[in-house]
Structure 1
Amino acid sequence: MEPAMGSGDDTWQPGRIGPFADDAAITLAEQTPLEVRFAARTPYDAISASARRCPDKAATLFLPNGLAGDTPESTTYAQLLDGLVRAANLFRSMGVGSTDVVAVLLPNVPEFHAVIWGATTAGVAFPINYLLEPAHIAQLIRTSGARVLVTVAPAFDAEIWNRAEAARRMVDTLDVVVAVRGSAPGAIDYAAALQTVLGESLTFLPEKEFDDVTVLVNTGGSTGHPKIACQTNRNLLFEAWVLGAIRERRQAECSICGGPLFHAAGLIITGLMPLFWGSTILMLSPYGYRAKGVIGDLWNIVVKYNVTHATLVPTILTVLAGLPFKPVPSTLKSIGCGAAPLPQPLHDKFLKLTGLPVSQGYGLTEAGCAVTTTQHSETPFGSIGRRLPYVQVRIVILDENGNELRDAADGEYGVIAVRGPNVFAGYVGERNGKATWLQGGWLNTGDLGYRDSDGFYWLIGRAKDIIVRSGHNIDPRVIEDALLRLDGIRDAAAVGMPDAYAGELPVAFVVADPIAALTADDILHKVGLSIPERAAIPKRIILTDGLPKTRVDKIDKGRLRATAARLAMVEALTSAGIGTDHYTIADEAGGGMRFVVRTTSAAHGDLGMRIKAALDPLGVPVTVV
């Protein structure tokens, strides 16, 4: 049995579980009760333990411009704990109780961690996407019932402050606004306020239990109607522990934080996980990979700071693969990739450049951020890996009303269902929704997949309709609602079209009134004016006489996604100089987003290989015959 780990053991050193040769090995590891694996029951416990083990070690190194030449701003574990305690005491002095919500509208600044984990200690933290429009921010604050809003001062980022100020005017439930990194009219100066409260110890008795809700995360798209997931201390700490344990985290390690911390994956994988294990977070500017020059300088940063772990998305990997490659330091142990499927040619290129396979997995906000991974088992490419220890996964067959019929056989497509310590406590205002849960407390992910006979899971498609563009979640209803508000539009449906760079691009199928005489360009221009976020503006309008329907008269988005995929495939092949007279595209037997491309010309002996090379970057499962 591995030693217990947690806040009361100052001599604790990180342990490891895995690798796992098969499911039986995972089951064997589960014989040790999860509660014995670590003693921390709140993020405060975990960070306190790290501060006792390594008080003078850098918890965060902040590069203001995200460049290797920057002078880093260091925050030690002792300083982080002091800031966390002060933030918790400050929020409690503002009247924040254990179930009250603190909304956090911050970019990736060092104060983020003291604020967010201080908020979870005093109450409930709600990190919000600072790129959203004010009306959407206000809607999220209103839905969550947040009483306090923490954001950046106008001198640091006027655009974020202006969004926060505009949102504040739309919400009458906010008691306090706090400004970080400067002062602001009508707001409390965070730095000054911290000096008025204790940092040595909490001024209140922490009431939070292991299964209490501690963080809210917006899901259902970064645009659209609020769907706010409630995550518990158990959810966060389990993911922080298990994702570190399978990576053999060590206190001497350094991982990059370049993605937004308001996402569940960013909050855990590049936030709480390294803090739990006592390693260093290298924060690449307030805006991460979005900041100018960051991606181009990334390898210099990896070398200079002896980075051990980097979590990226396919779009960034694509850019990096084209840059002059410096010798990779021996400290670099892993590259993780999420948010979108990784094309095999890109994976193979990085493997050749770095000698490291790019690990992948499957997760969703409602299940912490990870369910399966390729990191703890040798995995065939294309699979999302084996399940994480202590996480149960089933493939189930549902009827058209979402009722469970039976378990799927190995190799049979079905809906992925998850149960375990990573599964959330429900949505704000909808804790027990029928569409969310199956019998026995299983989470209905809404994603389609299958399990093979070796215990590996494969993701086939997204039964949910969220469009993922470069890791950015887009609710198709935002596009559809905007289209349906236009004169002359009878019906509309938005789906994701596979894209080699972004993973998916939003496209909309539109039924227009013939009398209106609208062109696709007319519609695209008009709808672009009414969609509040640029990422959600469709890349294309596809005019059609009617939308396909299911047997219960609902729009069949599966067929629309397949149509969009075929369109992307045809365009990719055309760009490669392969005309439509040389092949046909058909659905693979069994359904789902899988296709068979048959060559119709024997003139070119390498035609099949050319077709595969042209289609591989799209990430669409294709068999060429």
Structure 2
Amino acid sequence: MKPVAAYADVLRIEEHGWPTNLPSSTYDAIRQGAAIDPDAPALSFFMSADKLGETEVWNYRDLLRRITQTANAFHELGLRKDDVIAFVLPNLPETHFTIWGGEATAIVAAFNPLLEARTLAALLTAAGAKALVTLAPFPGVDLWSRLQPELAGIDSLQHIVQVNLADRVQGPAKEMARQAQQGEVKKLHGDGGVQAGLPAHVAVHDFWTIVDRQEGDRLCSDRQIVAEDVSSLFCTGGTTGLPKIAMRQHGAEVANAWSATAFLGDIIGPGKTLFCGLPLFHVNGVIVTGLVPFSKGAHVVLGTPQGYRGDGVVAGFWEIVEHFKINFFSGVPTLYAGLLLTPVGAHDISSLEYGLCGAAPMPVEMFRKFQEVTGLQILEGYGLTEAICVSSINPSQGERRIGSIGLRLPGQAMKAVMLDDEGHYSRDCAVDEVGLLAISGPNLFCGYLSAEHNEGLWLDCGDGRRWLNTGDLGRQDADGYFWLTGRKKELIIRGGHNIDPATIEEVLHQHPDVQLAAAIGRPDAYAGELPVAYVQLKQGSRTTEEELAEFARARIGERAAQPKFIRLIDRIPLTTVGKLFKPALKKREIKDAIADALWNAEIEFVEVSVVEEPGQGTRIGVDLTNAEDEDRARVVIGNFSYPFSIRTTKNL
């Protein structure tokens, strides 16, 4: 299948109509992929970047068998179609087995193991988790010790399935690892073991003990999964202290995988190898380097439990590419920034074809420099948890427009629309006119778990279709390419992590001296954005920025959401109806970030301006003191994801 090269190719694919023979479930999609060549490598895993020679490999026959056994193990525990199996795990083979085996049995809920324990407990309670798959106690790993004290308060929980990291140790060190693990259990819970630290009604199981005893050639449940069955729950930005929980269906996940493969063509398929370094609690890791390749018979390399954050992964990335002959990987701008600091050296990276970049806009200068240094083609894209994962990508075989999020995928409609003052659809936008991005298609999720979060979620555009209000602002050019110009929903995106400003604001409002608090994203050349909070104190208060920062750190469950800076301000700007007016604060941070970057580069300038241009969004203007600094200034400012112009003010 040829990849999409232009918008006309998207339309041509759609002329054939929606496929009538798509699998009804993610399990069937993987089973179809496994049938292409059961002996082909499907999943490889290495624990450490300095031990690539100890990589474990599962072919497609083994992968499907392990997924089936895991599904049967969950069924044996009494888990059924509408039950929730949550996992709080790093990137491990068991994580994939849990995701796809869990979806074949019940509903899988993915949660970030880096969250604070009380936040995880609140999410598990909100999801109604009946089973939890997580790590067993292990020396040097604090996940269980953090989480265990909170589990007694989760009324729905009946089963804990523990993945033992000692099982991943190979060779003579395996027995030593098992003894160390048992010692950790005794240190935490005494002779009573893990069960002693849990309520009597919560049963504890070892993952491989319950999986290995299962049949692997069929689903013992005889379940007939239909496309409308809920398959998974994933967190996304919310309007309260906890993230929203998005409900996704089997048919929607399969539809998005089909759309992505129809767009990418033979980039992903038999004989192709993809590297997965993004976390498997995030939709990109699960879909782009999970369901998509598994459904097409490609090979996925899973690198270390911490993925790209693992010791030596970024530093040794080119060696990993050479060793496994990686063809494709997916990352966020911060990853590409890190790889730019890692020389390719003598490594043979000729196997690399494409890198997918999403989660946040990639700075133009970083884009240019990366392709110049590595020769790798980067495909910028756009996606949402609510639309399963991918909605648009720059074409691999056509024009890749730097700064654009590309062409929409076949089978899902996408457009910019204008809303009236009450938030209702008014009309479609003209070419290059900025409006709210809306998406429609079989890849849409079915709503948030909490009904209150669904208000204003869907748009009626008068065509009988269901349109998702993405909350993002953008435009579509004459050739079908989409361009993001802002985020109406005001999420802060830090290194690919979605941070709801309310998570920060609600905590700061708990401080007795705080009158108003407004959290925004500060542009950052490495992380994309950093959370910054502006605070207006009550009259007479003497609280300091440092005291407020400590207050916030102690109460914000997600480390990434803890504000990088807290700025005291006399008066936070408000709209005429009394709402926080964040654009004024955002402009201030953009200006300050650009100025700091120029100062750090020792580039003299007269002024940095930030303006909103109709139809184009935010634009930076810089007046330099010396013309000879212009080239260096372009490099510095190009590391931020804003269009800009430079002029020189002559010395008098």
Shared fold by TM > 0.5?
Answer: yes
Q: Tell me if structure 1 keeps the 8 A contact 2:263–2:409.
A: no
Match of 1:7 in 2: none
Q: Does 1:60 align with 2:43?
A: yes
Q: Does 1:209 align with 2:226?
A: yes
Match of 2:145 in 1: 162
SS in 2 for 1:345: helix
Label 1:176 to 1:607 Cα distance change in 2 as closer, same or farther (>3 A).
same
**What is the distance in 2 between the residues matched to 1:73 and 1:221?**
38
| Match runs of 1:187-586 below 5 Å | 187-220=204-237, 224-247=241-264, 248=266, 249-325=268-344, 326-376=346-396, 377-430=398-451, 433-439=454-460, 440-579=465-604, 582-586=606-610
Higher mean alpha-carbon deviation, 477-486 vs 517-526, is at 517-526
Label 1:570 to 1:353 Cα distance change in 2 as closer, same or farther (>3 A).
closer
**What is the distance in 1 between the residues matched to 2:622 and 2:68?**
64
CA deviation map 1:75-117 (0-9, x unaligned): 2221221121111122122222212111111111111121111
**What is the distance in 1 between the residues matched to 2:571 and 2:429?**
33
| Match runs of 1:599-610 below 5 Å | 599=623, 604-606=626-628, 608-610=630-632
Label 1:327 to 1:340 Cα distance change in 2 as closer, same or farther (>3 A).
same
Label 1:444 to 1:420 Cα distance change in 2 as closer, same or farther (>3 A).
same
Residue identity opposite 1:595 in structure 2? R
| Deviation of the 1:520 alpha carbon | 2.1
SS in 1 for 2:152: helix
Label 1:409 to 1:39 Cα distance change in 2 as closer, same or farther (>3 A).
closer
Q: Tell me if structure 1 keeps the 8 A contact 2:113–2:143.
A: yes
| Deviation of the 1:196 alpha carbon | 3.3
**What is the distance in 2 between the residues matched to 1:587 and 1:267?**
38
**What is the distance in 1 between the residues matched to 2:349 and 2:25?**
35
Match of 1:3 in 2: none
Q: Tell me if structure 2 keeps the 8 A contact 1:235–1:421.
A: yes
Label 1:505 to 1:312 Cα distance change in 2 as closer, same or farther (>3 A).
same
Higher mean alpha-carbon deviation, 81-90 vs 410-419, is at 81-90
Q: Tell me if structure 2 keeps the 8 A contact 1:250–1:277.
A: yes
Q: Does 1:587 align with 2:608?
A: no
Q: Across the two proteins, how many residue pairs are aligned to each other?
A: 605
SS in 2 for 1:296: coil
CA deviation map 1:548-571 (0-9, x unaligned): 223432212233222221221222
Q: Tell me if structure 1 keeps the 8 A contact 2:241–2:506.
A: no
Higher mean alpha-carbon deviation, 294-303 vs 536-545, is at 536-545
Residue identity opposite 1:426 in structure 2? G
Q: Tell me if structure 1 keeps the 8 A contact 2:591–2:608.
A: no
Q: CA RMSD in A?
A: 2.2
Label 1:400 to 1:576 Cα distance change in 2 as closer, same or farther (>3 A).
farther
Higher mean alpha-carbon deviation, 152-161 vs 397-406, is at 152-161
| Deviation of the 1:148 alpha carbon | 0.8
**What is the distance in 2 between the residues matched to 1:265 and 1:68?**
26
**What is the distance in 1 between the residues matched to 2:415 and 2:615?**
19
Match of 1:5 in 2: none
SS in 2 for 1:397: strand
Q: Tell me if structure 1 keeps the 8 A contact 2:239–2:502.
A: no
Q: Tell me if structure 2 keeps the 8 A contact 1:222–1:473.
A: no
Q: Tell me if structure 2 keeps the 8 A contact 1:234–1:421.
A: yes
SS in 2 for 1:34: coil
SS in 1 for 2:639: helix
Residue identity opposite 1:569 in structure 2? I
Runs of 5+ consecutive residues of structure 1 not aligned to the other structure: 1-15
**What is the distance in 1 between the residues matched to 2:240 and 2:111?**
12
Q: Tell me if structure 1 keeps the 8 A contact 2:618–2:643.
A: yes
| Deviation of the 1:208 alpha carbon | 1.9
Q: Tell me if structure 1 keeps the 8 A contact 2:227–2:251.
A: yes
CA deviation map 1:171-228 (0-9, x unaligned): 0111111112268623111211123332221112223211321111011169932411
Q: Tell me if structure 2 keeps the 8 A contact 1:98–1:207.
A: no
Q: Tell me if structure 2 keeps the 8 A contact 1:68–1:297.
A: no
| Match runs of 1:119-130 below 5 Å | 119-130=102-113
Q: Tell me if structure 2 keeps the 8 A contact 1:221–1:473.
A: no
Q: Does 1:18 align with 2:3?
A: yes
Label 1:591 to 1:85 Cα distance change in 2 as closer, same or farther (>3 A).
same
Q: Tell me if structure 2 keeps the 8 A contact 1:67–1:293.
A: yes
Q: Tell me if structure 1 keeps the 8 A contact 2:357–2:379.
A: yes
**What is the distance in 2 between the residues matched to 1:219 and 1:500?**
24
Label 1:27 to 1:407 Cα distance change in 2 as closer, same or farther (>3 A).
same
| Deviation of the 1:68 alpha carbon | 5.4
**What is the distance in 2 between the residues matched to 1:120 and 1:560?**
43
Q: Tell me if structure 2 keeps the 8 A contact 1:135–1:170.
A: no
| Deviation of the 1:410 alpha carbon | 1.4
| Deviation of the 1:156 alpha carbon | 7.2
Q: Tell me if structure 2 keeps the 8 A contact 1:312–1:335.
A: yes
Bigger relative contact order, structure 1 or 2, given CA contacts below 8 A and separation 6+?
2
Label 1:157 to 1:73 Cα distance change in 2 as closer, same or farther (>3 A).
farther
**What is the distance in 2 between the residues matched to 1:90 and 1:69?**
31
| Deviation of the 1:139 alpha carbon | 1.3
Q: Tell me if structure 2 keeps the 8 A contact 1:222–1:474.
A: no
SS in 2 for 1:498: strand
Residue identity opposite 2:249 in structure 1? T
| Match runs of 1:23-42 below 5 Å | 23-36=7-20, 39-42=22-25
| Deviation of the 1:448 alpha carbon | 0.7
Q: Tell me if structure 1 keeps the 8 A contact 2:22–2:254.
A: no
| Deviation of the 1:304 alpha carbon | 0.9
**What is the distance in 2 between the residues matched to 1:222 and 1:329?**
44
SS in 2 for 1:492: strand
| Deviation of the 1:591 alpha carbon | 7.6
Match of 2:636 among 594, 614, 618: 614
Label 1:551 to 1:70 Cα distance change in 2 as closer, same or farther (>3 A).
farther
Label 1:209 to 1:69 Cα distance change in 2 as closer, same or farther (>3 A).
closer
SS in 1 for 2:498: strand
Residue identity opposite 2:35 in structure 1? R
**What is the distance in 1 between the residues matched to 2:235 and 2:308?**
21
CA deviation map 1:527-584 (0-9, x unaligned): 223223322111111221222223432212233222221221222222233445x234
Q: Tell me if structure 1 keeps the 8 A contact 2:366–2:638.
A: no
Label 1:320 to 1:432 Cα distance change in 2 as closer, same or farther (>3 A).
closer
**What is the distance in 1 between the residues matched to 2:468 and 2:160?**
36
| Deviation of the 1:475 alpha carbon | 2.0
Runs of 5+ consecutive residues of structure 2 not aligned to the other structure: 167-181, 183-192, 196-203, 648-652
**What is the distance in 1 between the residues matched to 2:604 and 2:368?**
28
CA deviation map 1:425-471 (0-9, x unaligned): 11113298232110141000000111112221100111112211111
Once the two structures are aligned, what percentage of the paired residues are identical? 35
